[in-house]
Amino acid sequence: MDRRTRMENFVIRKAKIGDVRAIQDLIMPYAREGRLLPRSLSELYSRIRDFFVCEDNGRIVGCCGLHIVWEDLAEITSLAVNKEFHGRGIGRSLVQACIEEAEELGIPRLFVLTYEEEFFRKLGFQIVDKNIFPQKIWVDCLKCPKFPECDEVALLFNVSAPQESS
Residue extents of the structural domains in the chain: 5-158
pLDDT band at 33 (very low <50, low <70, confident <90, very high): very high
**166 or 124, greater pLDDT:** 124
Q: Is 91 within 8 Å of 62 (Cβ atoms)? A: yes
**153 or 92, greater pLDDT:** 92
- Average pLDDT of span 25-47: 95
Q: Is the pLDDT of residue 95 over 90?
A: yes
- Among 72-86, 104-118, 134-148, the range scoring the smallest mean pLDDT is 134-148
- Average pLDDT of span 132-146: 61
Q: Of the CATH numbers 3.50.50.60, 3.30.750.24, 3.40.50.300, 3.40.630.30, which one belongs to the domain with range 5-158?
A: 3.40.630.30
CA distance 87 to 71: 34
Q: Is the pLDDT of residue 130 over 60?
A: yes
Q: Is 147 within 8 Å of 136 (Cβ atoms)? A: no
CA distance 110 to 120: 11
pLDDT at 81: 98
- Average pLDDT of span 61-65: 98
